[in-house]
A and B are shown apart, each in its own frame.
Chain A
Amino acid sequence: MSDTTSKSEELFRLYEELSDASADLEPEDLAEQKSLDAIFAASQWQLMWRKFKRNKVAIAGGIVVLLFYLGALLAGFIAPYTLESRFVKYIHMPPQRVRFFNNGKLQPHVCGVDLTIDENLRKHYTPDCTERFPLQFFAHGEPYKLLGLIDTDVHLFQVPDGIVSLLGTDRQGRDMFSRILYGSQISLTIGLLGVLMSLLFGSVLGVISGYYGGWIDDLMQRLIELVRSFPAIPLWMALSAAVPPHWPPLRTYFAVTLILSLIGWTWLARQLRGKVLSLRHEDFVLAAKMTGATDAWIIFRHLIPATFSHIIVVSTLAMPSMILSETALSFLGLGLRPPITSWGVLLKEVQNIQSIALYPWVFTPALAIAILILAFNFLGDGLRDAADPYTV
């Protein structure tokens, strides 16, 4: 008891001494100085983050987007099955419910399934809870490559002797949940890659166009107008028709990405050109020029950093349309084709009225797309609002 009081007294004295000492060094200013520095030495990114943090919807959107990408990255691990697994006994099976308690004990499990065929030859699956299959976590299952590199067969969850299908199965008895996860690998990266490629063309051409102006700018603008005056879908159709069907999947994948970014870059180039055009006449650019800075110096030290936040916003907002374009193209049979599995390919496979009426769960890829697109839009809007702390 007395020990602690003496300790705290000691601390207190030390504290007083310290504060006295610093007061001698810089009267009253120090604390104030520190707090001011925290505010005034905040970079653009810190200011952006402060503003972005307050937008809860955007944060939620960002988290959802992150989860989707995490899912795509770890698809093999999270998915209980691979793309090739088929359950011929369970064709068009509806989603199974995961039950958490077994006889009052926490034990996640799924029930067995009973199949009956009615007079119209339609299959009816009913849960049969006399048989219970507990989910086993980090269990061994089918082999796959984690992150495309590491050979392993450990899955997040498995039902060794039965089937677990969280989102039902398709007409070949394949698990939709696993297929959506694998499909996201293609759909999400094609969006990312498409945006990156657009970014590459768009930012370089846009910045050059805006910075140099004159005939270069005129030429670039006419080119953009030309590209954009083609209606998108017919243009894609024409381009896709030019992709030979015998190409290996990987090459088709890149070809489709290229086709998508062929139009995407014009948008970005326009945006950046406008931004650079207004920045070009700022006095600080002139000051650098009058000091003898090279064009490269001005572009890389002044113009690109100033458009950086803009580029991020524009790319985020461009992602949904990239992903949707891939889906649309594949859905029309012009983009990716099986055996590549993307969300568009998944939707293409269920392209008939019968599916909608009888097996609505095969449309879950559409739901995944909708959720992701919304999340991207919320995130993009939030970023845009936070983007330029200096113009608002």
Chain B
Amino acid sequence: MKDFRYIDGAAILKLDRESCTGCGMCVTVCPHRIFALQDKKAEIRDPDGCMECGACAKNCPVQAIYVNPDDGCGCAALIIGRWLSRITGKTPTGCSC
């Protein structure tokens, strides 16, 4: 997203160009236009713009993409819940969104 940039170098997004078949699904689904096709292979154009939504990985037919698998909306309340649950060993209670 051009008008909104978040913390650089934080998002976890990996692409295995070897196994990529160039189908273009990741290019289509990414809401931040992170991918582009180059020589019939996907390429990460803007790694810092990734919001880790996981749409690309979900739709890649050959599992060539790895995104931080923690899901959830990423509000502070949810993350605190998760940190607490790691300490107490209870299952985290979700946020209400």
Do A and B associate with each other?
no
